[in-house]
Amino acid sequence: MSSQIAPHVGLSEPKLAFHPDRTSDQEIHPLRGLLRFGPHSSGLVPDPIRIATLAPAGESRRLYGFIKELAAAAKATERIDYVPQWPGFQSVFGVHITAAGGGCHLELDKELEREFSDAERPHIVLADRIVRAIQRLEAERDRFDVLFIYIPQRWAAGYVGGPGEDFDLHDHVKATTAARRLPVQLVREDKALAYPHRASVMWRIGLALYVKAGGIPWKLANADPETAYIGLSYAVRPPDSDRPRFVTCCSQVFDAEGSGLEFVAYDAHEVEVQRENPFLSRTEMFRVMTRSMDLYRRRQAGRSPRRVMVHKTTEFKPDEIDGCMQALHLCEAVDLVQIVEDVGWRGVRIDGVPGAPKGKAAAYPVARGALLGLSPREALLWTHGDVQGIGERGPYFQGARSTPRPVRLVRHAGHGPWDDTAVAVLALSKMDWNNDALYDPLPVTIGYAKVLARVVKRMHGLGSSPYQFRSFM
């Protein structure tokens, strides 16, 4: 029996599209593409984008100053082989930003500081004040597009709960505002106002602001128009929760270009827990897939996709597979793919040397897009690694440290070569609009599912209407 494994395949870095009609407006570098071509939804976002503010007593000026800074230029001082100069929000996105009109700017009361410092559970005091202020701003909702909330570093004790408490200030605020369809940007002092590398901050916040205002910065350039992508995640509520059941099921639906940032969520009742992981019954999986397809058809004028790819991080149990197949019976092809992040595999690039049979270790890591089939059912894909054509100084390795690990792809349904499945995963790793990086280690179907699960389990009353992901960013 041979111990050799199959030869690997190198997949090209996926291109992004920056115009709905001009196919020449494509780039592999998202930020460079925005500078060259502008955003994909150019001309469709209201101009200007109006920003409301919520700040500690006497500190609104810090947010006003930050809004002005977003409109100005900033020189790149970190990741200079990747991050370009920030030329100002209007130069990048083609729309202006402005502070909203009167009544859209609130400050928390002065008593908060004393109560916060004296409280045994300061996160409860802080969260209550912020939520009450958000409720007041609802009356002015038609006068602003995005709400900026300033969180100073001195409130760090209120970011998370105490031992054993399932509390996160960011997720708590998002759960409150998402239910109201109100896009919010938390502006933390340590990560935004005081962070020394200003171009990086402007790119991250500017990109998030544009998306939260309804914009689409880029889409996938070479996607199959008849394929839909679905991401599944299950959020486990704390045992002492008084809300129905303990598992919430989230399902995202992305169209062929990766831009369908809508999802459905509901309390699942027929759940089996194995090794602390929840698995749905056939009925529950049928229900969530059916709702996902209904959402897709509403976006596509009643048309069903020819192919559906479903991603999740745990295996698909037989009942879950049956539920998917029953709900997706109108589709010609269904791929159920488990994406495992924590694997023991590593890879080292070896350069061939004339006359030396074994070659030598290269100066750069394994290329991103390297695909190694282990069996008809499993493959390794390096979503993190060396990328050509990004910087002027040669290959670009995001983060520039450690040996990149692959993700393991396990196919529980579907057939054929791994190329299409791997290309989709690689492309969707570039679709996180809440990040200025070239890519994420995981496809957006999985990455967003994790964010949704964290927030959704804190929401009271999920409702039946689909949610826009921009409310959760």
Q: For residues 92-101, give the mean pLDDT.
A: 96
| Cα pseudo-dihedral 234, 240, 241, 247, rounded to 10 | 20
What is the C-alpha to C-alpha distance for residues 263 and 181, in angstroms, rounded to an integer? 13
Residue 252 β-bridge partners: 231, 263
Q: For residues 2-20, give the mean pLDDT.
A: 82
Q: For residues 187-198, give the mean pLDDT.
A: 95
Whether 244 shows a pLDDT value over 60: the answer reads: no
Tell me the pLDDT band of 307, cut-offs 50, 70 and 90. Answer: very high
- On whether the CB atoms of residues 208 and 200 are closer than 8 A, the answer is no
Handedness of CA 316, 320, 322, 328 (dihedral sign): negative
User: What is the pLDDT at residue 316?
Assistant: 97
Whether 351 shows a pLDDT value over 60: the answer reads: yes
Whether 198 shows a pLDDT value over 90: the answer reads: yes
User: What is the pLDDT at residue 359?
Assistant: 76
Whether 460 shows a pLDDT value over 90: the answer reads: no
User: What is the pLDDT at residue 56?
Assistant: 97
How far out from the chain centre does Cα 197 lie?
Answer: 23
pTM of the full predicted structure? 0.92
User: What is the pLDDT at residue 370?
Assistant: 94
120: left (phi over 0), alpha (psi -120 to 50) or beta: alpha
User: What is the pLDDT at residue 455?
Assistant: 86
DSSP letters for 46-93:
-SSEEEEEEESTT-HHHHHHHHHHHHS-B---SSTTTPPPB--HHHHH
Whether 361 shows a pLDDT value over 90: the answer reads: no
Q: Is 442 helix (H, G, I), strand (E, B) or coil?
A: coil
Each residue of 67-99: b (16+ CB within 10 Å) or e? bebbbeebebeebeebbbebebbeebbbbebeb
User: What is the pLDDT at residue 452?
Assistant: 84
What is the C-alpha to C-alpha distance for residues 10 and 28, in angstroms, rounded to an integer? 16
What is the C-alpha to C-alpha distance for residues 423 and 42, in angstroms, rounded to an integer? 27
For 344, phi then psi, to 5°, come to -90, -5
Q: For residues 229-258, give the mean pLDDT.
A: 72
Look up residue 465 and give its amino acid. Answer: S
Tell me the pLDDT band of 245, cut-offs 50, 70 and 90. Answer: low
Tell me the pLDDT band of 391, cut-offs 50, 70 and 90. Answer: confident
Q: For residues 412-432, give the mean pLDDT.
A: 92
Q: Which residue has the tokens 């031992």?
A: 163
Which is more confident, 459 or 305? 305
What is the C-alpha to C-alpha distance for residues 135 and 182, in angstroms, rounded to an integer? 11
Whether 365 shows a pLDDT value over 90: the answer reads: no
User: What is the pLDDT at residue 1?
Assistant: 41
Q: Which residue has the tokens 């169209």?
A: 255
Whether 287 shows a pLDDT value over 70: the answer reads: yes
Question: Which one, of 351, 355, 354, 343, lies nearest residue 367 by Cα?
Answer: 351
Give tens-digit pLDDT for 308-322.
999 999 999 999 999
Percent of the chain with pLDDT over 70: 93
- On whether the CB atoms of residues 291 and 251 are closer than 8 A, the answer is yes
- SS3 percent helix, strand, coil of the chain, rounded to 5, is 30, 25, 45
